[in-house]
Structure 1
Amino acid sequence: MTNVFTHLMERLDTLLADGATGTNLFQMGLQSGDAPELWNTAEPGKITAHYQSWVDAGSDLFLTNTFGGNAARLKLHDAQNRVRELNRVGAELAREVADKAGREVAVAGSVGPTGEIMEPVGTLSHALAVEMFHEQADALKEGGVDVLWLETISAPEEFRAAAEAFALTDMSWCGTMSFDTAGRTMMGVTSADLVNLVEDLPNPPLAFGANCGTGASDILRTVLGFVAQGSERPIIAKGNAGIPKYVEGHIHYDGTPELMADYAVMARDAGAKIVGGCCGTTPEHLRHMREALDTRPRSDRPTLEQIAEALGPFSSAGDGTGDDAAPERRSRRGRRRG
């Protein structure tokens, strides 16, 4: 048996994912500190329009507005009892948009971190983490997603707990970590560590990779780190649209649509099967990424020097593995990753 996602994976050379959720919902009026997931029921028209923007931009898959839809995160908004409702509705709205697209478009059920620190460093037990992830995953399945999509994870313990929960839900999944601390996750995981973690899981993801982080250059270095481990599992690259800067009271990402088009092609050539954007990535960025992937021929795998030359310098001297060092910081025509 297959579904839209697995069929797209078999049929397409490269899948274009979507861009940012928070960035674009803020443009629609979401206030800082508010839970985006509450809009699934309070502002369904805006969430539908958000989903539709990715389809119109050419995405092959897009994520549901459920990143913070677990009980621990929703408790911050006194909505811990609405996990099933908010996730199910977020998925149902996405399913409606995808089914009307006139082409195959997959719906990925976004599952973010709990926001808690797991034992033994923190207080969140493995069993409770599994329970929370299971509750959310079941609701996303009920809403009709094609695949579960774990993202922005830092701790291997939380990655394992989510994987166990997804097995209980009996759904295929993809998983990404955020490598935002000198090539490592906040909890010290390297690209090599993630490959080993994925391959040791009883129910490994259909695809794995990196999202968010510190910009287009860094995430491509991480992709090269995955490739160096020799894994044949499809790789995901979902990088930010440049570097965040505070401009006139708002966070602005400096990555232009043209830079993100270059990033998309280099991510594909580096070895990524699924390419998308994260924070700061708008439908305009996605349209340029779509055109670049469709019109530019494949090239050799880029070197670190070529990545820095095209997309800007890396944020750290190395990727945390102790292997290849990144090129020195330098500017190119005054542009820093955007």
Structure 2
Amino acid sequence: MTDALSRLLASRDWLMADGATGTNLFNMGLSSGDAPELWNTDQPDNIRALYRGAVEAGSDIFLTNTFGGNASRLKLHGAQGRVRELNRVGAALGREIADASGRTVVVAGSVGPTGEIMAPMGSLTHELAVEIFHEQAEGLKEGGADVLWVETISAPEEYKAAAEAAARANMPWCGTMSFDTAGRTMMGVTSADLATLVEKLPNPPIAFGANCGVGASDLMRTVLGFFAQGTERPVIAKGNAGIPKYKDGAIVYDGTPELMAEYAVLARDAGVRIIGGCCGTMPEHLRAMRAALESRPKGPRPTLDDISSRLGGFSSASDGTGEDAGSARRERRGRRG
């Protein structure tokens, strides 16, 4: 138990992660379609401000600005030759902020999906996926990341490749999937599938869970699905701040700080050990979440009715694991972090 995240988990009932990366950077002037990772070298003070905002709001863990920092994604911007550099700098800026905080703050190296379809449905082989993830992992390791944070994954094959890459880099890791299609990931994985998958990996994650998706209610239903499988591994919940809406030419999230505070308390009471936000989650949401987690007494594990009454209704009738799961409409759509 030498890594910082494992030490914190051993000493605390819950840890608070950070919020959105993209939403915060768009508010700083990042243009839609641009690669956020390029700001690690081009706008380092903005990235420091991103990290500092999470730490000052009470986060124990924050993710680096490297979600799309793999060769496959950076190739879209002609930057596939800068993987090691951009990840190293993204992590080093995080290390600087964490070390100046005066407390233990975990720098989690964000590793998003490749954006490619894994074989046999697509052309991305397991071996190439491992190489892509490994290159990114080595850059994050060089920059001083404490742990790799694999997130927003849809395919079990890609999750397995990321796990192998973490082992190759000799880095501890965590891994979350995005359950956004009637309780399943875009590639059909259910909460039960992921809970089973992580225990079969040769190199299982420190913690696993769900991020992004549809809204806080749906994510909490997925979390209950993990616990229904009897998992004893720490669970992560990083839900969006409400539901995205198009307003005045931009995507905004309707979740208030009060809503996210309710979500954080429900997640803690459900047994989640690492609680954070995803898209739309700003420092003001994080401050409300931290205050609620520290001030409100722990309650019983919430039911589905508790979740829907406090966070809003679910976007689908099924979470993908029941007898009616096969009738759930399955969409195929991409998602960016």
Contact 2:212–2:240 under 8 Å retained in 1 = yes
Match of residue 248 from structure 1: 248
Match of residue 309 from structure 2: 309
Letter in 2 for 1:126: H
Q: Secondary structure at 1:107's aligned position in 2?
A: strand
Match of residue 16 from structure 1: 16
C-alpha distance in 2 between matches for 1:28 and 1:50: 9
Aligned-residue offset at 1:3: 2.9
Deviations along 1:198-237, one digit per CA (max 9) or x if unpaired, are 0000000000000000000000000000000001000000
Deviations along 1:239-271, one digit per CA (max 9) or x if unpaired, are 000000000001010000000000000011112
Q: Secondary structure at 1:151's aligned position in 2?
A: strand
Unaligned runs of 5+ in 1: 326-338
Deviations along 1:146-196, one digit per CA (max 9) or x if unpaired, are 110000000000000000111100111000000000000000000000011
Deviations along 1:63-99, one digit per CA (max 9) or x if unpaired, are 0000000000000000000000000000000000000
C-alpha distance in 2 between matches for 1:133 and 1:55: 27
Deviations along 1:116-161, one digit per CA (max 9) or x if unpaired, are 0010000011111000000000110111011100000000000000
- Kindly report the root-mean-square deviation, in angstroms, between the aligned alpha carbons of the 2 structures: 1.0
Deviations along 1:292-321, one digit per CA (max 9) or x if unpaired, are 000011100000011000000000001000
Q: Which moved more, 1:90-99 or 1:6-15?
A: 6-15
C-alpha distance in 1 between matches for 2:182 and 2:293: 29
Equivalence map 1:193-272=2 (5 Å): 193-272=193-272
Deviations along 1:104-123, one digit per CA (max 9) or x if unpaired, are 11100000000000100000
Match of residue 329 from structure 1: none
Equivalence map 1:129-144=2 (5 Å): 129-144=129-144
Aligned-residue offset at 1:323: 5.7
Match of residue 332 from structure 2: none
Equivalence map 1:268-307=2 (5 Å): 268-307=268-307
Match of residue 114 from structure 1: 114
Letter in 2 for 1:189: V
C-alpha distance in 2 between matches for 1:94 and 1:4: 14
- Equivalent pairs counted in the alignment come to 325
For the structure 1 residues 164 and 308, does the alpha-carbon distance in structure 2 shift closer, same or farther, using more than 3 Å as the test? same
Equivalence map 1:8-157=2 (5 Å): 8-157=8-157
C-alpha distance in 2 between matches for 1:209 and 1:31: 30
C-alpha distance in 2 between matches for 1:59 and 1:324: 39
C-alpha distance in 2 between matches for 1:70 and 1:181: 25
Equivalence map 1:164-175=2 (5 Å): 164-175=164-175
Structure 1 residue ranges, 4+ long, deviating more than 4 angstroms after superposition: none
Contact 2:3–2:172 under 8 Å retained in 1 = no
Is residue 148 of structure 2 the alignment partner of residue 177 of structure 1?
no
TM-score, L = length of structure 2: 0.95
C-alpha distance in 1 between matches for 2:81 and 2:269: 44
Letter in 2 for 1:171: M
Aligned-residue offset at 1:5: 1.5
Aligned-residue offset at 1:6: 1.6
Match of residue 329 from structure 2: none
Is residue 163 of structure 2 the alignment partner of residue 163 of structure 1?
yes
Q: Secondary structure at 2:103's aligned position in 1?
A: coil
Contact 2:218–2:314 under 8 Å retained in 1 = yes
C-alpha distance in 2 between matches for 1:243 and 1:70: 28
For the structure 1 residues 121 and 52, does the alpha-carbon distance in structure 2 shift closer, same or farther, using more than 3 Å as the test? same
- What is the percent sequence identity of the aligned residues? 74
Letter in 2 for 1:73: R
Aligned-residue offset at 1:4: 2.1
Letter in 2 for 1:178: S
TM-score, L = length of structure 1: 0.95
Q: Secondary structure at 1:251's aligned position in 2?
A: strand
Q: Secondary structure at 2:209's aligned position in 1?
A: strand
Letter in 2 for 1:162: A
Q: Secondary structure at 1:31's aligned position in 2?
A: coil
